[in-house]
Amino acid sequence: MTETVSRLGLEPVERRIRVSSGVEVSALLLRPARPSALYVLAHGAGAGMRHPFMGSIAHRLAALGIGTLRYHFPYAEQGARRIDPEPVLLDTVRAAVEAGREAAGDLPLLAGGKSMGGRMTSRAAAAAPLPGVAGLVFLGFPLHPAGQPAVSRADHLAKVELPMLFLQGTRDALADLTLLEPVVGRLGERATLRVIEHADHSFHVLKRSGRTDEQVLDELATAVAGWREGLS
């Protein structure tokens, strides 16, 4: 798939998103020639929208016909380490989804993201509907802090009425699968768990696994595209 991506010759287009507080954040819109959907993609706590993982997954999704709108949370925009208060994060999610809805036009709209970005999207969806969003995609849902297994971070998911796709590595220190699997099971038919063998929270795999990080990224993109096709 890497060769296919390079042949596309796509470059993201810079956008600006105004959050309700009046703060503006940067965004990157990557839209393939014949898109089938647009995914509003939030970054994780420790890295912004330009992190190599974010760019790699965006280009792989584009190769499969799924555009992406990556965006910064205000703290990442400012280059700060301290994460914004949750109300600011949720306001940013909502502003980004609105920008994504405008960019998508008639296309189906997905939302979610990597780690914290995905969880903040689901927190927003649990508090109030995200207009136009057809489903949520989590690239490594952070169920608990490393070494502190718990499920309270998932309590809000019961209030999310959208289809949800969880992509989780078997070596993810922030999501014990023995805890996550029952959580997803209780959500019923609207939730799907796709387990990525040998991957950690960053979807990195060890050489002895017999797999490469590139193969894992391809698997993630293919899983998102296949799941989206199954949405009504």
Q: pTM of the prediction?
A: 0.94
Bridge partners for 166 per DSSP? 138, 193
Tell me the C-alpha to C-alpha distance, in Å, between residue 58 and each of 35, 43, 82, 131. Answer: 13, 12, 26, 22
Third-level CATH fold of 2-229 = Rossmann fold (3.40.50)
Q: Tens digit of pLDDT per residue, the chain (232 long)?
A: 443 444 456 889 999 999 987 899 999 999 999 999 999 999 999 999 999 999 999 999 999 999 999 999 999 999 999 999 999 999 999 999 999 999 999 999 999 999 999 999 999 999 999 999 999 999 999 999 999 999 999 999 999 999 999 999 999 999 999 999 999 999 999 999 999 999 999 999 999 999 999 999 999 999 999 999 999 6
